[in-house]
Structure 1
Amino acid sequence: MPRYVIERDLPPGLTEADIDAAARRAVAVNSTLEGVRWIHSNLAIDRSKFYCEYEAPSVELVREAARLAEIPADVITEVREVHPDAYTRRSW
């Protein structure tokens, strides 16, 4: 299944209540869309951006999920996982 990272530009003054409400909307919307799964998100310390990782059959479904949840999706990029363990030599 393809994975995507969404870069979300956030308005100034975002509160914890705003974040909680957006997360609840995302969970509710994702439960109605076949194959869309929110994996995790990272919030910039200055609260200016969210970086959210999703799994979905298509970028169009990721955009639709954001639209229905009324959450910005300014940049959506398809990604693949890269783990550091694959590049580390173990000598034990």
Structure 2
Amino acid sequence: MPKYVIEREIPGAGKLTAEELHGISAKSCGVLQELGPSVQWLESYVTDDKIYCVYIAPNEDMVREHARRGGFPANSIAAVRSVIDPTTAE
């Protein structure tokens, strides 16, 4: 199943409280339950003004549908073609 990195522009994201992040997470999980098991959220990285999310989904349209239903921005969606890490150099 394809993996995607989603860039969400959210000004002040790095200043969101634990309670606010909990609410965003709960909303996302609720939408994922509606969409069924074909879309999975792996993890997200919160920076000052963006959240980068990693999802597994059958296609980009499903990622966009999750964003639409959740009311989340999806400013950029990129399919992951390869994964590398320090062990790749070995």
Structure 2 length as normaliser, TM-score?
A: 0.85
Describe the SS at the equivalent of 1:54: strand
Aligned match of 2:24: 22
Aligned match of 1:74: 75
1:35-92 deviation line (CA, Å, top 9, x unaligned): 1000000011x2x00000000001000000011111111100000322331322xxxx
What is the rounded CA distance, in whole Å, between the counterparts of 1:67 and 1:82 in structure 2?
31
Aligned match of 1:10: 10
1:58-69 matches, cutoff 5 A = 58-69=59-70
- Report the aligned-residue RMSD: 1.6
From the CA coordinates, give the structure whose radius of gyration is larger: 1
Q: How high is the sequence identity, in percent, across the aligned residues?
A: 35
What is the rounded CA distance, in whole Å, between the counterparts of 1:36 and 1:84 in structure 2?
28
1:77-92 matches, cutoff 5 A = 77-79=78-80, 80-88=82-90
One-letter amino acid matched to 1:23: S
Structure 1 length as normaliser, TM-score?
A: 0.83
Uncovered stretches (5+) of structure 1, i.e. residues with no partner? none
1:15-41 deviation line (CA, Å, top 9, x unaligned): 223322111110111112131000000
Q: Which runs of 4+ in 1 moved over 4 A?
A: none
One-letter amino acid matched to 2:22: D
Describe the SS at the equivalent of 2:54: strand
Describe the SS at the equivalent of 1:32: helix
Aligned match of 1:40: 43
Which structure: greater helix fraction?
A: 2
What is the rounded CA distance, in whole Å, between the counterparts of 1:84 and 1:60 in structure 2?
32
